[in-house]
Structure 1
Amino acid sequence: MAIIVVTGTGTEVGKTIVTAAVASLARAQARSVAVVKPAQTGVGPDDAGDVAEVVRLAGEVTGVELGRYPEPLAPATAARRGGVEPVRVHRVAEVAEKLASEHDLVLVEGAGGLLVRLDDTGATLADAARLLGAPVLLVAPAGLGTLNATALTGEALRARELELLGVVIGSWPAAPGLAARCNLVDLPEAAGAPLLGAVAEGAGGLAAAEFRARAGGWLAPRLGGWWDAAAFTAANPA
């Protein structure tokens, strides 16, 4: 997989931290990595965005941000309100493909969920994935309410004939409740794709060296780690 598109069931579910974990594992295997953020919203011109956070945690990664809007809104809305040109999906695909010719792995991290609008034509991250022919990695929360959003995202991907690589839980609590433990079994069924990891709660607050050392324990072999879904589920019985 030269390019992976990373999306979430919504905002603030852990996409950036999962992206950083995947990037750090690829770097540990001496693979060159680039991260593309098509649209960064809710940060000022001098603030560190998601790409900077991935670079901080993962290390030697090429980071590219295509559009930045200060208001914490959907990219199309933020661009309209700011009176600036939105990021077009053809531009996202063009940049990602160029980076893929120069790197072993390119991670394209979306804003919010799969069908959040990027521009005034209604184009979304799903359209970028289709142009790229890239699989999609879905980041979901652990607890109550995640199954419906996961199922809807999986259904939207299948309707567009896009590959759902799997699901990663973006923040696994230190003391998981009943819903979270049940979701270890139910999330793969809802998604129609395997569970590929569970990132520890608070992982983004770790020092970079510790983050990189622990990343393999959060992600499955398909993403470069050694996390085992069956063993993790057995250790967290419902």
Structure 2
Amino acid sequence: MSVLVVTGTDTGVGKTIVTAALAAVLAARGETVAVVKPAQAGTEDGRGDVDVVRALAGVTAVEGVRLPYPMAPVAAARRAGTALPDLAAHTACATELAGRHDHVLVEGAGGLLVELDGHGRTLADLATALAAPAVVVCRSGLGTLNHTALTVEALQRRRIPVAGLVIGAWPDTPSEVELSNRAALEPLLGAVPAGAGGLDPARFRAEAPRWIRLPVGGPGAATRRAPG
């Protein structure tokens, strides 16, 4: 399988737009892509992350559960009186899509260790079940080096390969701090411009390959070949 999980150092770092950009880059190569959002919490405007991905990247996108409240999935499900799908359901969904697509991207909710089901399992557990590497979406500003290092360390402790880092919103006029951070973040696959989610979809798809550079075979190619 060619499955990749997309996590973030926090909520609001740009995971959905980065996921759409990754999908657009892969689709531009003529490869088929599906995106999975195990738990969507927060749909105040009537749209979920999969709707954004479909519109921007033009790929298949599905979600395990949609919850109206902008809270962590467990809390949002409790408030809505809804049971969350368990880890096996998310694993089966991604595996089935991987059988029909060249790549499957699994976008988490919030950070890496936010619970996705009612049994304490997280995106890290799902990545382990799928034997999938991870892309970490990070901020550009002050504090990102520590937050990124913590997320990468949590992945490495669980033996989840890190396919690379992507800055989720790169400003038009970066500060000295942001330029320094960008130089220090490794391995950096690229940076998505701030406001990219507001672009016309055709322009988004055309420009995405300039924002993110992926190795041949997809973002997890090198990590999938690594021994152990």
Q: Same fold (TM over 0.5)?
A: yes
Alignment correspondent of 1:152:
150
Alignment correspondent of 1:234:
none
Matched, 1:135 2:130: no
Q: CA deviation at 1:80?
A: 1.7
Q: CA deviation at 1:186?
A: 2.1
CA contact (8 A) 1:13 1:141 kept: yes
Q: Which runs of 5+ in 2 are unaligned?
A: 219-228
CA contact (8 A) 2:56 2:204 kept: yes
Q: Which runs of 5+ in 1 are unaligned?
A: 189-193, 226-238
Query: CA 1:64–1:20 in 2, change beyond 3 Å: closer, same or farther?
Result: same
Alignment correspondent of 2:225:
none
Q: Secondary structure at the match of 1:12?
A: coil
Matched, 1:113 2:111: yes
RMSD of aligned Cα (Å): 1.6
User: Among 192, 197, 213, which residue is 1:220 paired with?
Assistant: 213
Separation in 2 of the partners of 1:53 and 1:83?
A: 26
Separation in 1 of the partners of 2:39 and 2:216?
A: 24
Alignment correspondent of 1:207:
200
Matched, 1:48 2:47: yes
Alignment correspondent of 2:185:
187
Q: CA deviation at 1:88?
A: 1.4
**Counterpart residue identity of residue 100, structure 2:** E
Separation in 2 of the partners of 1:224 and 1:94?
A: 23
Aligned length: 218
Q: CA deviation at 1:224?
A: 8.0
Q: CA deviation at 1:223?
A: 7.6
Alignment correspondent of 2:226:
none
In the TM superposition, what whole-angstrom CA distance separates every residue of 1:167-194 from its partner, at most 9, and x where no partner exists?
0000100000111111012222xxxxx0
Q: Secondary structure at the match of 2:163?
A: strand
Alignment correspondent of 2:65:
67
Q: Where do residues 68-107 of structure 1 align in structure 2 (5 Å cutoff)?
A: 68-107=66-105
Runs of 4+ in 1 over 3 A off after TM superposition: none
CA contact (8 A) 1:25 1:224 kept: no
Q: Secondary structure at the match of 1:221?
A: coil
Separation in 1 of the partners of 2:116 and 2:67?
A: 12
CA contact (8 A) 1:51 1:64 kept: yes
CA contact (8 A) 1:22 1:223 kept: no
Q: Where do residues 28-43 of structure 1 align in structure 2 (5 Å cutoff)?
A: 28-43=28-43
Alignment correspondent of 2:21:
21
